């Protein structure tokens, strides 16, 4: 069960997601089918002098109900919010996969669950306690809550993973780096299965002030590829995949959802904030080459599509350079128009949507696209999703610092 280069084939057997438009994969998919918008007014903390008063928050998430059955990791109930999301998504993915819990042959399993920022909610609470409320100490679990690898550790403990367990951190490319790294570990024989993705929960007063200062947040909404776009909208959540080598998955009779066929990663090496065209272009080319398919075989592309002026234009131009004439026949959308920009978790959430698009031959929309930017002249599936035969999909994640990652998914092997 190897590819032409002698490496093992890697398949997806489970998916989990927590988002503002659905707290499980079925709920998320239903939200996408309904073109649901998860952006609303900020809640849960003092907004004081904030100028941007919207975000895509997950409201009324009951972590105690979602995680009460955890057997091995009792402390997760007291963890940071980003770890709750990761644990819930990983639990959903593991249960769909049918893998034994705790993992059989645990040293042959990996848990790579990243976060672009880690426990920022805990940071803010701790600083408010110390400097505003004049408390003498923070919560005793503060240190464990804030660490960027805490989610990976919590998930690894609960599911009995004793192989490589760590976090990736690459801003908006975090989840895709995690999935790509797990893919490499499996295909080169370091492990046989992996829990991979990312989680993020950063919506608080301090974070909003920091993003506001960078002038990349919209006070109105997330409108990718639209002429009126004026910034992104912060989101939160988690997206997790279960990856396995094909032979092992088939041997145990797993329900294979898709094959992870290709991964590409580059760095612009030019600017911290302003993205280029070359880096994203080369990452897409690398992913296609790794998948051993031609550009015209991609049927749906999940764009990074942040709704910032320069990103959407540059991503459009990069797609044109990679796909040529096929760029104009390609169904493309930014689901961030619905679930907001969940930073490091975005690639995991969007990967699940690529696989659902393949399962149902239906492509998600870019909502709010009423007046396309003339410089963004491709088919972004405006406003309503549609039936579309989907065999191969591509998912783009492009991050601050010019860190570019791309995944290619194909059909489940017969």
Say which of 63, 154, 304, 339 is annotated catalytic. 304
**Nearest-CA neighbor of 114 among 159, 147, 81, 76?**
147
Token output for 108: 């042959």
Nearest to 222 by CA among 82, 333, 85, 347: 333
Catalytic residue check, 169: no
Active-site choice (169, 172, 261, 376): 172
> Do 258 and 241 touch, CB atoms closer than 8 A?
no
Angle at 15 between CA 258 and CA 30, to 5 degrees: 100
Task: Name the token pair of 157.
Answer: 């403990």
Under 8 Å between Cβ of 198 and 238: yes
Q: Are 257 and 411 in contact (CB under 8 A)?
A: no
Helices (H) and strands (E) in the chain, counts: 13, 14
* Residue in 154, 177, 339, 341 annotated catalytic: 341
Residue with tokens 């396995």: 244
Of 300, 283, 293, nearest in space to 334 by CA: 300
Instruction: List, in sequence order, every residue forming a beta bridge with 266; answer none if it has no partner.
Output: 404
Q: Hunting for tokens 């080369």 — which residue is that?
A: 282
- Residue 233 near residue 125, CB atoms below 8 Å: no
**Cα 300 to the chain's mean position, in Å?**
17
* Radius of gyration over every alpha carbon of the chain, rounded to an integer in angstroms: 20
How far is 350 from 60, CA to CA, in rounded Å? 23
What tokens appear for 325 in the block?
């004439």
- Residue 304: active-site member: yes
Round to whole Å and give the CA distance between 210 and 92: 33
| Residue whose entry in the numeric block shows the structure tokens 């908006």 | 172
CA-based nearest residue to 400, from 232, 197, 236: 232
Cβ atoms 242, 194 nearer than 8 A: yes
Residue 203's φ and ψ, nearest 5 degrees, are -85, 100
Task: Report CA torsion sign: 345, 407, 93, 23.
Answer: positive
Which residues are part of the catalytic machinery? 172, 304, 341
């Amino acid at each position: 069960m190897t590819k032409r280069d002698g490496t093992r084939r890697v398949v997806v057997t489970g998916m989990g997601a927590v988002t503002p438009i659905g707290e499980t994969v079925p709920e998320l998919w239903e939200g996408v089918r309904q073109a649901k918008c998860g952006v609303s007014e900020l809640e849960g903390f003092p907004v004081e002098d904030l100028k941007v008063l919207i975000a895509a928050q997950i409201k009324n998430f009951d972590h105690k109900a979602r995680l009460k059955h955890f057997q091995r990791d009792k402390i997760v109930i007291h963890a940071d919010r980003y770890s709750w999301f990761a644990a819930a998504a990983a639990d959903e993915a593991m249960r769909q996969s049918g893998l034994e819990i705790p993992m059989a042959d645990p040293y042959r399993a990996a848990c790579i669950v990243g976060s672009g920022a880690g426990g920022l909610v805990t940071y803010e609470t701790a600083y408010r306690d110390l400097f505003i409320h004049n408390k003498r100490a923070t919560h005793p679990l503060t240190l464990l809550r804030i660490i960027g690898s805490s989610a990976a550790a919590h998930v690894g403990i609960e599911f009995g993973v004793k192989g490589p367990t760590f976090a990736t951190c690459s801003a908006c490319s975090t989840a895709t780096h995690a999935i790509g790294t797990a893919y490499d570990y499996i295909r080169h024989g370091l492990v046989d299965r992996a829990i991979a993705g990312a989680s993020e929960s950063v919506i608080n007063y301090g974070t909003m002030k920091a993003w506001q200062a960078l002038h990349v947040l919209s006070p109105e909404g997330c409108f990718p590829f639209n002429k009126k776009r004026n910034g992104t909208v912060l989101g939160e959540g988690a997206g997790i995949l279960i990856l396995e080598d094909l032979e092992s998955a088939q041997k145990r009779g797993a329900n294979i959802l898709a094959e992870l066929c290709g991964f590409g990663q580059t760095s612009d090496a030019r600017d911290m904030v302003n993205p280029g065209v070359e880096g994203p272009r080369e990452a897409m080319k690398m992913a296609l080459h790794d998948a051993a398919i031609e550009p015209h075989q991609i049927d749906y592309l999940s764009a990074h599509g942040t709704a910032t002026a320069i990103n959407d234009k540059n991503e459009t131009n990069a797609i044109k350079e990679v796909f040529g004439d096929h760029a104009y026949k390609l169904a493309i959308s930014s689901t961030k128009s619905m679930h907001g920009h969940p930073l490091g978790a975005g690639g995991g959430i969007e990967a699940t949507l690529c696989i659902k698009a393949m399962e149902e031959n239906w492509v998600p929309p870019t909502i709010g696209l009423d007046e396309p930017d003339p410089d963004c002249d491709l088919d972004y599936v405006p406003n309503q999703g549609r039936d579309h035969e989907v065999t191969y999909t591509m998912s783009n994640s492009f991050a601050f610092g010019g860190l570019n990652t791309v995944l290619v998914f194909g059909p489940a092997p017969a």
